[in-house]
A and B are shown apart, each in its own frame.
Chain A
Amino acid sequence: MQANYFAKKKRNTLGFIAILGAVTLLAIIITEYNVVKGFTSLPKAVEWGLANFYPTQESLTKLPDILDKLIETLLVSIAATTTGAVVALLFAILGSNTTRVNAFFGGISRGIATIFRNIDVAAWAMILLFSFGQSSLTGYFALFFGSFGFLTRAFVETIDEVSSGSVEALQATGAGYFSIIFQSVIPSSLPQMISWILFMIETNIRSATLIGLLTGSGIGFTFNLYYKNLNYDVASLVVVVIIAAILFIESVSNYVRRAVL
């Protein structure tokens, strides 16, 4: 019985690896992707990068322009995350098993959040291009929808994990629904929720750069512009600025996270 159990487990693992290998092989054959050529061209790519792709003295004159766009992108990302978080909090409270009003509304709000979460931000951007055209509003809404879906899920788990005990205790004292939310659920889950929001802001700043390519706005568009015009020195300056901004935001959010937890 026991020997059987372990043998079966091992067989399953081996089977899984075999299938993964077969799928990889099939994909390579179908796309005619040459693995060897792919990897041997890497050094050449690096060589080209070193030769052309670095900021020069004169590209620095574009820096104020670039920073302008960078700040716009950062602000849009932060605004999309925080507004998304407010709506997510509402849906999470309605969707969590601990705090839902009833099973019906709980199911509906979790269902809506699941739909939004499973559509990628890039897909949202393309869908929204139809309604808002190429503008930063499109980028804002794409990030907003993605953040809303993801944060609802994260908040539901946080609420269920940290506040179910104290919610039960306060219900037993006869406390009303809103008292319980504000005196127990929010104080217990707030630090973890802030941590999730910071994570989302970091993620959104990264996505925003790519979304900008699609929506023709923000720092992503700036990069695209210079790159297409073969202005490699300015384009590389944009990349340097983006990396610096991401590192900066990450260290700020790590600091805040340590302070609140």
Chain B
Amino acid sequence: MTALLEVNHVSKQFGSDMKALSDVNFSVQEGEFVSIIGPSGAGKSTLLRCINRMIGASSGEIIFDNMNVMNLKKKDLKLIRTKIGMIFQHYNLVNRLSVIENTLHGNLGKKSTLAGVLGLYSQEEKEQAVNILHVLGLEEHIYKRADQLSGGQKQRVGIARALIQNPRMLLCDEPIASLDPNSAKIIMDHLRNISRTMGITVLINLHQVDVALKYSDKIIGINHGQVVYNGSPKNITKEDIQRIYGSEAEDLIFDVGGIHAS
């Protein structure tokens, strides 16, 4: 296995005094399922967005698929973004468009300006979209408007939009934070399934420690913009959780006990 993603000494400063990330280091292997956990404001979303340069890191080096993300020209940046799917807490769909149109949006990065502006998609692209929607259990909703779906269904459309890109990696920013436990489980199962059957690397921000421990090959814990844990979910201890969550840890230690016991 080779590292698909390497994050070396990455820092991010907002304005003059807000240090969101400081000297972050980790690497992700091809096909791995990696969770980033940490309290609110720890820098999880910022870290995820530095990887596809939705936010420019202040210093350090990010290597994805042997390319240095931070030095890319605009055209190469777009190319690298087509290889990375992104999934959001609030789904970020175009609410007034149909499920299949939202899915096809994932292909806009590969289109010419004219085809993109006019929304011209080939028959193959449409068939691929329908196939993906079938896999995600949305076959009955293909022509429904996105705003007529439940939260869990919307998130599956978000996943479909990312999958049609044919990505090497998925970046998921708290994808289940707005969902009920049942829908959350469906989404997490789909993500694990995608990772295992398609070999797509998954890097996911999670707020729920128990979910992270259950699904991940690797856990990265951050607190105050620093990586304070980087390792397997099996070896994680109460002290590690304490270090990641600080004062919030009290409420979470139960979860760890629960997950190791089962």
CA distance A171 to B165 in the complex (A): 13
CB of A175 within 8 A of CB of B96, answer no
CB of B94 within 8 A of CB of A182, answer no
A170 CB–B CB distance under 8 Å: yes
Contact with A along B76-119 (1 / 0, CB 8 A): 01111110111010111111110000000111111101001111
Q: Contact check: which of B88, B91, B113, B118 meets A176 at CB < 8 Å?
A: B113
Q: Smallest Cβ distance from B90 to chain A, in angstroms?
A: 6
Given contacts A166-B92, A168-B88, A173-B165, A179 and B52 within 8 Å (CB-CB): no
Residues of A with C-beta under 8 A to B1: none
Given contacts A165-B90, A184-B94, A174 and B109 within 8 Å (CB-CB): yes
CB of A174 within 8 A of CB of B79, answer yes
A187 CB–B CB distance under 8 Å: yes
Q: Which of B90, B108, B158, B171 has the most CB of A within 10 A?
A: B108
Q: Contact check: which of B85, B90, B94, B108 meets A179 at CB < 8 Å?
A: B108
CA distance A191 to B92 in the complex (A): 18
* Chain A residue at minimum C-beta to C-beta distance from B102: A166
Q: Smallest Cβ distance from A146 to chain B, in angstroms?
A: 29
CB of A169 within 8 A of CB of B111, answer no
B261 CB–A CB distance under 8 Å: no
Q: Which of A171, A175, A190 has the most CB of B within 10 A?
A: A175
A178 CB–B CB distance under 8 Å: yes
Within 8 A of B (CB), among A181-200: 181-184, 187-188, 190-191
B168 CB–A CB distance under 8 Å: no
Contact-residue bracket for chain B: 35 or more
Interface residues of A, CB < 8 Å — how many? 24
CB of A168 within 8 A of CB of B54, answer yes
A45 CB–B CB distance under 8 Å: no
Q: Smallest Cβ distance from B29 to chain A, in angstroms?
A: 22
CB of A170 within 8 A of CB of B84, answer no
Q: Smallest Cβ distance from B80 to chain A, in angstroms?
A: 8
Q: Smallest Cβ distance from A55 to chain B, in angstroms?
A: 47
CB of B108 within 8 A of CB of A165, answer no
A7 CB–B CB distance under 8 Å: no
Q: Smallest Cβ distance from B74 to chain A, in angstroms?
A: 10
A172 CB–B CB distance under 8 Å: yes
Q: Which of A166, A170, A180 has the most CB of B within 10 A?
A: A166
CB of A168 within 8 A of CB of B113, answer no
20 further interface pairs, Cβ-Cβ under 8 Å (given A166-B93, A169-B86, A179-B113): A163-B94, A165-B88, A165-B93, A166-B94, A168-B88, A169-B158, A170-B105, A171-B81, A173-B82, A173-B86, A173-B108, A174-B79, A175-B111, A175-B116, A176-B108, A176-B116, A178-B117, A179-B108, A183-B94, A188-B95
